[in-house]
Structure 1
Amino acid sequence: MFAGLCARGIGLAPRSAFAHTLRPGCFRTFHRSTINATSLLQKLSQHSAQIYGTSARPPLQGLLKQFSPWSSKRHIALRAGRRRAFDPRFFSANAAQAQAPAAELPVLSPPPVAGWLIFSSLLVFAVIVVGGVTRLTESGLSITEWRPIAGMIPPLSEAQWNEEFEKYKATPEFKLLNHSFTVHDFKEIFYMEWGHRVLGRFIGIAFVVPLAYFAVRKRLTATLPKHLTGMAILIGLQGALGWYMVKSGLEDSLMETPGAVPRVSQYRLAAHLGTAFVLYAGMLGTGLSALYDWRYAKKGLWGGFKETGEQWKTVLQNPLIKRFARNSKALTALVFITALSGAFVAGLDAGLLYNEFPLMGGRLAPPSDELFSRDYAKRPDGGDLWWRNIFENPTTVQFDHRCLAIATYIATGLLYASTRNPALRAVLPPMTRRFAVASFAMANIQVLLGISTLLYLVPVPLAAAHQAGSVMLLTTMVHLLVSLRRPGAAARAWRQALQTAKTKAK
């Protein structure tokens, strides 16, 4: 019985529409191995007409025409296996065309992936600002232990607070600077450092958990898993680097050094801040790239052009655009180096010297014997005189930061001015022009913040805003670079497939 064959999972190999119209009792016997296709369809037509009437004949006659080119030697086999109750390929003429290329297309990250990466970059932005405030309020040395799990919970009882305060009393910072602190004063700096550490841990969770989810669900473009795994590892290393930085300010050797100030190493501070900048730029740039790739794949939009098309191919091949892109990358590197030099200024409290602008002590530059003092050389022959003054002399550090800041401002202005050139403006993407304007505007704001911070002796609000401004300037440059990026390979493949499908549909 055919009903019995169906119950045991026997199905026809070539799945067609007629296979879903059959009812139990249609046939009495079937040969299990192979039968002639034309003979089978003729029998189906006769039995269907007896059961369902003449309305069943047209589709079966169509199937007869479909199988008519077959020779008498071609057979269809009855095979064992569970059949799906519904197969959309048989109900839409375009479904087969849409599914066939989709199975061969690479994975294209959807907008939620871009949103997650951009949100993660905002968290890094926040932790950079909070870290700057922690440094400015001298709160970073209030927690003397690194407990990644247990440290997430602050002291809850008075006894626990007294225990933490006793640990802080043993640090050089308390003995040399804060020996008059009470438990209440200690709580203020403790909560600032604790908030900074907890926010760092939250970033790790907010990044790693969605990364695992998107990786398991195969929502990441082929190159993303490797890059994002590297970022996740860097987040973990950032926590270890932060503790390594704090340890430099807790060493008892500071008590034995005449005139020493209990603070963290400027080298470790710069490494900690520089890593945060790299993480921020990496997350933001990757998130924007994923978002722009999706828009290009689905709508053909690129670079802010209103009409869809392949403008990026001709735009990116233009020599003027290539030179503009190289200049933009060089400026981004200069912005990063300038921000990193600011970490040395903060680590050495160099902003408290020469609180005037543009002069330093009534002249454009301090005396050479002050910029390259032999007091900072540790080798008898003075072989380390130059580099130690550059990184350890507060006067030289401030002078270098000023020079880098002025160079960054001039370079940003020149990049903006180049966009006013009619030849370049005619081929420059609209989005790139907008971010060139935004970069120059942010550079002006950053210069004003820097000068104000210097003139007003580094007040915490202005200094924190100045550090946040450096991140914002880097943000505009990342946007500018991404606007000149060609669509990814996955986006190009999807775009081509969709265009091909639309062409066939017409």
Structure 2
Amino acid sequence: MLSILYLSRCTLRSAPSKLLAASSCNSRQASRQLITYTRHCKNNTGITQGNKLSSLIKSNGIVARFCSSSPQPKNSKAVGYWLLGCSGMVVTAVVLGGVTRLTESGLSMVTWKLLGERLPRGEDEWQAEFLKYQQYPEYKYKNSNITLSEFKWIWWMEYAHRTWGRAIGAVVFLPAAFFWLRGYLDRGMKIRVGVYCALVAAQGLMGWYMVKSGLEDRFQGPSDVPRVSQYRLAAHLALAFVLYSGLLAGALRVLRPFPARATFARVKELRSVTAFAHGVKAMAFFTAVSGAFVAGLDAGLVYNSFPKMGDHWVPDDILAFSPTARNFTENPTTVQFDHRALGTATLLAATGLLLAARGKPLSPVARRVAHGVGAMAWIQVGLGILTLLHYVPTPLAASHQSGSLALLTLAIWLTHEIKLLKYIPK
């Protein structure tokens, strides 16, 4: 996130010189126009001209039109930093949610109030809260020996997660109203902000709907482990990723804006890189959602070996459930196998992206981000393997979940940088 903040301070001063390098130095090849910096070339009078933007603007009317800017909403950068801050808060919420799930703290709070639960004050109120918890399946079938001090610890974990979620709601809704009423948002951004607010509300409701599934009287006895529905858990995580992706993309549009009065064109040399970048973005998202099914079914605790699952590449019980479709969302073996397959496909796509980026007309920033995508994919797969081999320890599992967000972040950033390169002066 810090690197994005740093790059947001940069302007597109070098873009015109890159795009029009061939017009000032005839020896340039057209295919290198997007990445070649303007070098010193002698004109007819023998005077050396540098690559200063002011010289180009004076000598070229197209560049002047390219560099001119249309009226913008006042202080639009503030909107960008606000969206970037909100996306950072969503990252923290995802990490907190993962730790809450790994420490099995999510079902410790059995009530939900829109503006937040009141903190227990004194031992009597803690005992009353503990008595509420004792009425539900997790205590009856799993934690019947838990002490009050142990209950307090898991209660505080869930309280921190819910409080942070409400803080995100406040940080999204209140500044959104301020920026909207003060005229900081253009028409497109108003639509985006409306969607962000709807996603935040949906995320909160889905969070409680998910927890409610673990409090229902649907567990058959001591052999059945009380847990939230893996379907609702996956929906909760997917909404968080969609919200994060939207906030980050919106922030990049403001902090790394597309040039005004320019035409979007398809650059043939960038087609393969663009396809791989979008592929990695989609694969990272679906792999993360499949990870929610792994977490919901505790599927990381079966077949803790790699690359084989036990003694087989494809386990015998991969399609043990009937009908067959149930296996993909309810069979822990199948769910883990699917997650491995999706992770491997994401790694291959990221590696393909890295290879496709070689020799392509990318800006220095886009090239560095492409390398970051490839490196992060390998790190993420490594974290996943270590998490599996060590029977899902909380630090490794939380790092693995955070790695999925880091990979998605780099993929979104890369697609934005590639799109910047496709804006050509009219």
Spell out the pairing of 1:325-340 with structure 2 (5 A cutoff): 325-340=274-289
Question: Are the counterparts in 2 of residues 108 and 221 from structure 1 also a CA contact under 8 Å?
Answer: no
Deviations 1:230-263 (A, max 9, x none): 1111101111100000011111121x36832100
Counterpart check, 1:470 vs 2:404: yes
Deviation at 1:204, TM superposition (A): 0.4
Contact 2:353 2:370 in 1 (8 A): yes
> In the alignment, what sits opposite 1:411?
349
Post-superposition offset of 1:313: 5.3
Write the deviation string for residues 269-319 of structure 1: whole angstroms up to 9, x where unpaired: 00000000000111011101110118x56xxxxxxxxxxxx9x858x4212
8 Å CA contact 1:125–1:280 kept in 2: the answer is: yes
| Candidates 255, 259, 274, aligned match of 2:238 | 274
Q: In structure 1, what is the equivalent of residue 324 of structure 2?
A: 386
For the 8 Å contact 1:134–1:196, the answer to whether it is kept is yes
CA distance in 2, matches of 1:104, 1:242: 42
Residue identity in the other structure for 1:396: T
Other-structure match for 2:34: none
Unaligned runs of 5+ in 1: 1-101, 298-309, 378-384, 497-506
* 1:103 Cα deviation from its structure 2 partner: 13
What is the CA–CA distance in structure 2 between the aligned matches of 1:159 and 1:149, rounded to whole Å? 23
Name 1:118's counterpart in structure 2: 84
Question: Distance in 1 between the 2:89 and 2:116 partners?
Answer: 22
Show the counterpart of 1:169: 134
CA–CA separation in structure 2 for the residues paired with 1:345 and 1:106:
46
1:260 is paired with a residue whose SS is coil
Task: Tell me how many residue pairs correspond in the alignment.
Answer: 359
Secondary structure, aligned partner of 1:142: coil
Question: For the Cα contact (< 8 Å) 1:109–1:220, is it kept in 2?
Answer: no
* 2:370 aligned residue: 436
TM-score normalised per structure 2: 0.80
Distance of 1:103 and 1:449 partners within structure 2: 45
SS across alignment from 1:253: coil
Aligned partners of 1:473 and 1:109: how far apart in 2?
Answer: 30
Distance in 2 between the 1:337 and 1:271 partners? Answer: 12
Matching residue of 1:289: 253
Structure 1 residue 398 corresponds to structure 2 residue 336: yes
One-letter amino acid matched to 1:463: A
1-structure distance, mates of 2:378, 2:421: 32
CA deviation digits over 1:406-437, x for unaligned, max 9?
Answer: 111111001101111x3xx2x22322211110
Contact 1:344 1:397 in 2 (8 A): yes
- In 1, the alpha carbon distance for the partners of 2:75 and 2:282 equals 28
2-side partners of 1:488 and 1:259: how far apart? 58
Counterpart of 2:107 in structure 1 is 141
- Please report how far the alpha carbon of residue 149 of structure 1 lies from its aligned counterpart in structure 2 after TM superposition: 1.6
Mapped partners of 1:343, 1:103: distance in 2: 45
Q: Deviations over 1:310-332 (max 9, x none)?
A: 9x858x42122134223321221
Q: 5 Å matches for 1:9-408?
A: 105=71, 107=73, 110-151=76-117, 153-254=118-219, 256=220, 259-293=223-257, 296=259, 316-367=265-316, 370-373=317-320, 376-377=321-322, 385-408=323-346
**Structure 1 position 467, deviation (Å):** 0.4
Q: Distance in 2 between matches of 1:285 and 1:190?
A: 35
Which secondary structure state, in structure 2, belongs to the residue aligned with residue 248 of structure 1? helix
Structure 1, residues 427-452: CA drift from partner, whole Å, max 9, x if none? 22322211110011111111111011
Distance in 2 separating the partners of 1:139 and 1:237? 22
Distance 1:263 1:319, change over 3 A: same
Specify every segment of 5 or more residues in structure 2 that has no aligned partner in the other structure, as ranges: 1-67
Secondary structure class of the residue paired with 2:256: helix
CA displacement at 1:155 relative to structure 2: 1.2
Q: For the Cα contact (< 8 Å) 1:109–1:221, is it kept in 2?
A: no
Once the 2 structures are TM-superposed, how far is the Cα of residue 104 of structure 1 from its aligned partner? 8.3
Displacement of 1:486 in angstroms is 4.3
Q: Is the 8 A contact 1:274 1:340 kept in 2?
A: yes
| Larger RCO: 1 or 2 (CA < 8 Å, sep 6+) | 2
- Matches of 2:385 and 2:75 in 1, distance apart? 43
Partner Cα distance (1:170, 1:320) in 2: 63
Cα RMSD for the two superposed structures: 2.3
Amino acid at match of 2:417: S
Partners of 1:438 and 1:450 in 2: CA distance:
18
Q: Deviations over 1:61-93 (max 9, x none)?
A: xxxxxxxxxxxxxxxxxxxxxxxxxxxxxxxxx
TM-score normalised according to structure 1 size: 0.68
Distance 1:258 1:394 in 2: 19
Residue 456 in structure 1 maps to residue 390 in structure 2? yes
Sort the Cα spacing of 1:196 and 1:488 in 2 relative to 1 into closer, same or farther, 3 A: farther
Offset from partner CA, 1:320-364 (integer Å, 9 cap, x none) = 213422332122111100010000000000000111110111221
Q: Residue 267 of structure 2 contacts residue 422 of structure 2 at CA under 8 Å; is this kept in 1?
A: no
Does the residue aligned with 1:138 lie in a helix, a strand or coil? coil
Matches of 1:212 and 1:432, distance apart in 2: 34
| CA–CA distance in structure 2, aligned partners of residues 486 and 358 of structure 1 | 40
